[in-house]
Structure formats: C-alpha cells, structure tokens
Amino acid sequence: MPHPLRRPELLAPAGSLDMMRTAFAYGADAVYAGQPRYSLRVRNNSFGQLDTLAAGMAEARAAGKLFYLVANIYPHNAKIRSFEEDMAPVMEMRPDALIMADPGLMMMVRERWPEMDIHLSVQANTTNYASVRFWQSMGVKRIILSRELSLDEIAEIRDACPDMELEVFVHGALCIAYSGRCLLSGYFNHRDPNQGTCTNSCRWDYKLHEGADDAAGDVHARGDMPIGNPKHAGAVGTATRSQFDSSPGTALGGGPRHIGGSKVWLLEEGTRPGELMPIEEDEHGTYILNSKDLRAIEHVQRLVDIGIDSLKIEGRTKSPYYVARASQGYRRAIDDAVAGRPFDTRLLGELEGLASRGYTDGFYQRHHTPAHQNYLRGHSESGRSLLVGEMVGYDAQRGLAEVEVKNGFGVGDRLEFVQPEANHELQLDRLLTVDGDEIGRIPGSGRRVWLPLPAQADPAQPCFIARFL
C-alpha cells in the first residue's frame, strides 16, 4: 500500500563536540552519542564527561537539532545496581531519546523517567513486524531494524506497522559478531580474563594484523605481514604477558586486560584471504566488523518511498571528515529523493575515499542488474579521493587558506574543497609554508601550509580538502 512521502531524518554519529558540529554543518538532523559505561563500542568517545555531554545537548537544542544518547548494553548485575544513580545527572540534561536494547534497563527508565522516549537499538535484532508490534505495545517510540533485512522485508514491516517509527542503517561499519568474552585478551594472555578462565584456543584459521587509523578514521593494516596466528602460542609480535592495562575495571569482570586490547586489530580469516575484518574491544567485550563497510546511498530513494523515518550513519569512532562527507552525501540523496529528482551517481564516487577496504550494500539487495553494477563500478572508481587537509584559518589580505595537513599533496594535484553548501575543485598551482616560502610539495601530516581557495569557496564555512587519486 502507498504511504505518504516522509522526509527521513538523517542521523549521524558524534564521538566529540567537533564531530557533532561537523555533522550538523554538513546536513545531519540529529546525532547520537554513547554513554560510555552503558553503551557498546565507546572507543574515541569524549561524551563520558558530563560537562561535554551537557554542552553537546545544549548546542543541539539551540540549533534546532536532536541529540540521542546510546545506552544499549546487556548489563550484568553490577551495572544494574549503579544504572539509575549514574544516569540521573544525564537525564537532567534531557536527551531527546535513549537508544536501548535491554528490557530490564528499559523498565527502569520507564519507572523513573516515564517521559523519556526510547528507541530500540539494532542490538535487539528486530527482524519481523510481530516484534515491532510487541515493542510498540511496550511504549517504545522507534525501532532500529536489524541489519539482516532486505529492502522488501523492510517494506513489509512498514506495511504491517504504519504508525511506528522505523530507522535503518545506511552507511558505515557492519558489526558481524559481538562477544562478551575478550577475544584479544584471550589471544595475548592465552586465557580469558573477562569471565572465567577458558584456555581453549579459537579453532578458526585466521591471522592477526596490527591496525592503524588513517586521517579519516578508517582502519587499515600497519604493514603487509600478519603478526601471527592464535593457534601458534607465543606468535604475538612484541606483546608480552607483563603488558596489561593498569586502569581499574577495564575487563568485563573488573580485572586487568592486556594493553593491546585497547587498539584496533584486523583479522584475516583463512577462507577469505585479503579481506581484513577490524576487531575492537572495550570493557563490554569484543566486536568483529565486516571487511567492507555498508554503503546504501543508491537505495535512499527506495527507503524514502517505503516511508522510513530515520537513516543512520555509523561511525562514532571515525573522524570529522568522515562525518562531513557521509552526512553531505546522504543529505543530498535524501533531498533529491523527496523532490523527485533522479539519483546522482556522482555521490558514489564522493564516498569512495571513506572506506579503504571497500563497500557492500549488505542484505538490502541480493542481486544487482548489469546496469546497476556498471554505474556502481564506474562512478566509484572515477571519484576516488583521499583527505589531505583541513582549513583552520584564512588570511583575507593574501586570499590564502591556512591548512592543517593530513596526507601529502603538492602543486599540480587536483583538489576538492568539501564545504557544507557545495564542493569545489581546483588544480593547485601555489603552495606556501607557514613562513611564506614557496614549495612544490608537502610530504605528510603534522604540518601547516597556505594555499589558495577556489573562487566559489566560502572562507567562513568549514572546509576539508581531498586529493583526487
């Protein structure tokens, strides 16, 4: 059955105030941030500080935007006992909704803060309309649907539940496995320090690569060779049994955890050589992510036609550039879809530089037509770019922008200046050091340079600079 056309909310991640401001500037309607003690995947999150969280919510409210707070763990008894006390000062700040998964925590919120809206986390893995109706009867305002659903299944749920808010992920890392057991610490320590003392090695044939974050917040392998296989005792590179995180309560059971568990690593499973799956850990457990990121921008029109209420970008651990680029692209795709304009295939290429491991559209569409495959391939490859800098100042007298360098670039490179209202291209013909000396190339990050802006660029607006590959 047809539905009235809805303009879906664009929901972006916010791991810091800078990311939140960037998301709003580049088109997001709302952001979500994790409450560290009660949410999953809290790496690189500055909103654990109450003053930072309060500032974020106040800024969002002043801008007419929404701020959702994530509290989606499945807690053990120890966290149940502290939940209300820890959340009381946060609830006084009046987040626009809590994103939750555990029924017990939801009940506690309902009893103490009955006015608070609750969005059901994707961690609850809602895959059918009967579950949607159940959670609706429990007073949940919005359901974030499972990542395992196809577009046709999502449409069927909307038909069966026309008056329920529905949200889906459209971009970012795909978490394909979560475990409350600390896999990395088990690997480094040859036992599990979280819950119990299991000494059985994982029987999968996989290799471990050390990961590194690039300027966009994407993870890639540090070096070409893996540091070892968990089946081979002691093949852990520089790791030793004495290297533990000294901060209290870093493991799920409150015990010490190997310092390597705080880093991002990459798994290479034996049957999928060359496909590197990021693996992360925090105090709640271990997360294995798909080797390719989700990109569903080509499906925005269908999701708008279905009547989805919110399109969500994943990426709380990514950089402001990632948030800017993704928010800008999906903002344009949503506006085009609502206005009845055809999909702009150039958006595929503009997003290409955000995922060094490539993209998938997940379960949304099992098979693509040859024409669809051609424009996916052609536009993605032709538009690839790399973040090289961020504008941090402007000298109006000289007409030059001060740029903080993220990656190397030089005279002759074709650059793209990414701004909220529009992007502009320029063939770079001049590059100066901070002292005003002309140079041909700047080799890498940690430096600042001066360069001209395109005539159409607005020096008063945020600006990221990418180099076409």
The CATH number for 345's domain is 3.20.20.380
**Would you say residue 3 lies in a domain?**
no
Same domain, 165 and 56: yes
Q: What is the pLDDT of residue 370?
A: 57
Q: In sequence order, which residues have a C-beta less than 8 Å from that of residue 320 and are 6 or more positions away?
A: 18, 19, 22, 390, 464
- Among the candidates 245, 271, 289, a domain finishes at 289
Asked whether the beta carbons of 393 and 462 are under 8 A apart, the reply is no
On the question of pLDDT at 18 being above 70, the answer is: yes
Asked whether the beta carbons of 379 and 396 are under 8 A apart, the reply is no
CA angle 439, 440, 441 (to 5 degrees): 100
On the question of pLDDT at 448 being above 80, the answer is: yes
Same domain, 43 and 113: yes
On the question of pLDDT at 236 being above 50, the answer is: no
**Would you say residue 152 lies in a domain?**
yes
Q: What is the pLDDT of residue 260?
A: 60
Q: pTM here?
A: 0.81
Closest CA to 317 of 293, 344, 348: 293
Same domain, 45 and 142: yes
Binned at pLDDT 50, 70 and 90, residue 427 comes out as very high
Closest CA to 105 of 81, 127, 135: 81
Higher pLDDT, 353 or 320: 320
Same domain, 207 and 247: yes
On the question of pLDDT at 233 being above 80, the answer is: no
Binned at pLDDT 50, 70 and 90, residue 288 comes out as confident
- Among the candidates 289, 304, 331, a domain finishes at 289
Q: What is the pLDDT of residue 417?
A: 97
Q: How many domains does the chain have?
A: 3
On the question of pLDDT at 469 being above 60, the answer is: yes
Higher pLDDT, 458 or 261: 458
CA angle 56, 60, 64 (to 5 degrees): 170
Tell me the chain's radius of gyration from C-alpha atoms: 23
**Would you say residue 356 lies in a domain?**
yes
On the question of pLDDT at 221 being above 90, the answer is: no
Same domain, 232 and 144: no
Q: What is the pLDDT of residue 199?
A: 37
Average pLDDT over residues 230-238: 40
Same domain, 357 and 422: no
HEC string for the chain: CCCCCCCCEEEEECCCHHHHHHHHHCCCCEEEEECHHHCCCCCCCCCCCHHHHHHHHHHHHHCCCEEEEEECCCCCHHHHHHHHHHHHHHHCCCCCEEEECCHHHHHHHHHHCCCCCEEECHHHCCCCHHHHHHHHHCCCCEEECCCCCCHHHHHHHHHHCCCCEEEEEEEECCEEEEECCCHHHHHHHCCCCCCCCCCCCCCCCEEEEEEEECCCCCEEECCCCCCECCCCCCCCCCCCCCCEECCCCCCCCCCCEEHHHHCCEEEEECCCCCCEEEEEEECCEEEEECCCEEECHHHHHHHHHHCCCEEEECCCCCCHHHHHHHHHHHHHHHHHHHHCCCCCCHHHHHHHCCCCCCEECCCCCCCCCHHHHHHHHHHHHHCCEEEEEEEEEEECCCCEEEEEECEEEECCCEEEEECCCCEEEEECCCCEECCCCECCEEEECCCEEEEECCCCCCCCCCCEEEEEC
Same domain, 359 and 397: no
Rounded mean pLDDT of the chain?
83
Give the span between the Cα atoms of 380 and 110, in whole angstroms: 46
Average pLDDT over residues 265-285: 76
Q: What is the pLDDT of residue 182?
A: 56
Same domain, 392 and 462: yes
Same domain, 239 and 142: no
Asked whether the beta carbons of 23 and 12 are under 8 A apart, the reply is yes
Q: Which residues pair with 100 in a beta bridge?
A: 71, 120
**Would you say residue 1 lies in a domain?**
no
Using CB atoms within 10 A of its CB, is residue 44 exposed (0-12), middle (13-18) or buried (19+)?
Answer: middle
**Would you say residue 140 lies in a domain?**
yes
Average pLDDT over residues 141-150: 94
Same domain, 14 and 66: yes
Same domain, 159 and 14: yes
**Would you say residue 187 lies in a domain?**
yes
State in Å, rounded, how far the first CA of the chain is from the last one.
45
b/e string for 222-242 if b means 16 or more Cβ within 10 A? Answer: eeeebbbbbeeeeebeebeee
**Would you say residue 4 lies in a domain?**
no
Q: Which domain holds residue 432?
A: 384-468
- Among the candidates 289, 323, 355, a domain finishes at 289
Average pLDDT over residues 112-138: 96
**Would you say residue 131 lies in a domain?**
yes
Same domain, 340 and 394: no
On the question of pLDDT at 33 being above 90, the answer is: yes
